[in-house]
Amino acid sequence: MTSLDLSGRTALVTGSTQGIGAAIAAGLARAGARVAVNGRTPDSVDAAVERLSGEGPGAFVPAPGDVSTEAGAEAVRAAVPDVDVLVNNLGIFEARPALEITDDEWRRYFEVNVLSAVRLTRAYLPGMTARGWGRVLTIASDSAVVIPAEMIHYGTSKTALLAVTRGFAKEAAGTGVTVNSVIAGPTHTGGVEDFVRSLVGDELPWDEAQREFMIRHRPQSLLQRLIEPEEIANLVVYLASPLASATTGGAVRVDGGYVDAILP
């Protein structure tokens, strides 16, 4: 195959009931994959599967479970024993003054943002390498490189994911499995809308609020607007496809030029 065709492949996207995760699930299904939709509760997952149905030739299957816990990850593994494409998308973020972040909050961010990706990669990578084909993709963030002053716990967890990705790529060396992270820039999701409002207030219409946020808090962006979830999904689908067979161990940016670097 030399196309984006993922027919016959099974994908799992964590945290895919809404936002970037749902857009990635839809994109993979349009490429022909059978996509396992994940969220913490069966009700939220079933509702997402119903919303996503009809997005493409691929099918959607429910895989509920809180993958920030070992028990939740096991529940997901029971629902989907083997996958060809693993997208570690689950993540949380919240603005918090650096000196007010407690030990418990630091632990929570590592459990949700880092260890969820580690435990699922550890679970599914051996099957991929045994079959000689697979894709592990972890959604990182520009905050991994440009640590935001208002949420250093989030930024640090995303930095850790870049190291996790590089390490697992070395583990998969020469097997036909690629392991990459995707550095997503500021993206337009419901959670980000709330975050923008928390910083610029509720008075401005959304387009003006978004512009004010980018000017005041993300002036490095060359795109000068929030990225749409589908734009993140487009890169993920490419990296999951046979076309990206020589890309591994990388941190590939879809950040609107936010990270001021000449290397990807």
pLDDT in the model for residue 58 = 80
Long-range contacts of 108-114 (CB under 8 A, 24+ apart): 109/153, 109/154, 109/156, 109/157, 110/157, 110/160, 111/68, 111/69, 112/68, 113/154, 113/157, 113/158, 113/160, 113/161, 114/157, 114/160, 114/161, 114/164
What average pLDDT score do residues 142-170 get?
Answer: 97
Task: Verify whether residue 154 is a known catalytic residue.
Answer: yes
pLDDT per residue over 102-153, tens digit each? 999 999 999 999 999 999 999 999 999 999 999 999 999 999 999 999 999 9
What CATH class is the domain 10-187+228-254? Answer: alpha beta
pLDDT per residue over 43-80, tens digit each? 999 999 999 998 878 899 999 999 999 999 999 999 99
Domain ranges of the chain: 10-187+228-254, 188-226
pLDDT in the model for residue 149 = 93
pLDDT per residue over 201-246, tens digit each? 999 999 999 999 999 988 999 999 999 999 999 999 999 999 999 9
**Alpha carbon separation from 57 to 34, 53, 184, 214 (Å, rounded):** 9, 10, 26, 37
Residues 6+ apart with CB under 8 A from 86: 11, 12, 120, 121, 124, 125, 128, 134, 135, 136, 137
Q: Which residues are bridge partners to 138 per DSSP?
A: 88, 181
Q: Is the pLDDT confidence value at 2 over 60?
A: no
Q: Which residues are bridge partners to 136 per DSSP?
A: 86, 179
pLDDT in the model for residue 191 = 83
Query: Is the C-alpha dihedral spanning 223, 225, 230, 233 positive or negative?
Result: positive
What average pLDDT score do residues 154-164 get?
Answer: 98
Q: How far apart are CA 172 and CA 136, in angstroms?
A: 10
Catalytic site residue from 124, 154, 238, 258: 154
What average pLDDT score do residues 170-190 get?
Answer: 96
